[in-house]
A and B are shown apart, each in its own frame.
Chain A
Amino acid sequence: QVQLAESGGGVVQPGGSLRLSCAASGFTFNNFGIHWVRQAPGKGLEWVAVVWFDGSREYYAESVKGRFTISRDNSENTVFLQMHSLRGEDTAVYYCARSSAYDGSSFDSWGQGTLVTVSS
């Protein structure tokens, strides 16, 4: 079955960096785009970034543009989110999600999430 597993979360000081990973299994990884979505404590969902199936395109939310970079390694079935210049407002659970097999754009599978806490 389709599985996504995030890792790399933790506590980081403001201005610091962190790299999240999303390891995929159970499907043909290089056929699907992968997104990152975050959820601040007690808040709603916020789309963060996407990388296309072949890594040819990336898109970002304005709130992270220039600070975060999404990438993928199709040989390792893994997507990364490199985060720099972290701020308190980046504190959230970060989920990776797969572009759906239904329409190529909704999110039909999600990981369990990894918590990033930005605090001094």
Chain B
Amino acid sequence: DIQMTQSPSTLSASVGDRVTITCRASQTITNWLAWYQQKQGKAPKLLIYKASNLARGVPSRFSAIESGTEFTLTISSLQPDDFATYYCQQYNYYPFTFGGGTKVEIK
């Protein structure tokens, strides 16, 4: 199975900060990677698909890039609505696998 290593596991930040979350795949997954946002008690929400494509309705302060097996999600200016847990997911091979999650907390 492909392992997705996500870091950091927790991130403390303030409104307006630039935030970066990294996900590394244990083998090549080309660009078959998604990012999800999950708020407490709610279902996850798709933010990014195919490594760098913004899902409809997602604010442009979210962006993502890929570099080989390393994938990065950036929030350019953290807003109050962005405090949540973020997960990466590879969907190049079954079983699909998620990263362990990054909880973005208020500093």
Contact = CB atoms under 8 A, between A and B. Distances in A.
Interface of A: 35, 37, 44-47, 50, 59-62, 95, 100, 102-103, 105-108, 110-113
Given A62-B95, A108-B55, A100 B101 contact: no
Contacts of A46: 98
Interface of B: 1, 32, 34, 36, 38, 43-46, 49-50, 53, 55, 87, 89, 91, 94-101
A45 B87 contact: yes
Contact of A108 (B46, B95, B100): B46
Nearest to B1: A62
A44 B100 contact: yes
A113 B46 CA distance: 16
Contacts of A37: 44
A1 to B, nearest CB: 12
Given A100-B49, A103-B49, A106-B50, 10 more contacts: A44-B101, A45-B38, A45-B98, A47-B98, A50-B94, A102-B55, A103-B32, A106-B49, A108-B55, A112-B43
B80 to A, nearest CB: 23
B87 to A, nearest CB: 6
24 contacts: A35-B96, A44-B98, A44-B101, A45-B36, A45-B38, A45-B44, A45-B98, A47-B96, A47-B97, A50-B94, A59-B95, A60-B95, A95-B43, A95-B44, A102-B49, A102-B50, A102-B53, A103-B49, A103-B50, A106-B46, A108-B55, A110-B43, A111-B43, A112-B43
A61 B101 CA distance: 19
Contacts of A50: 94, 96
A113 B43 contact: yes
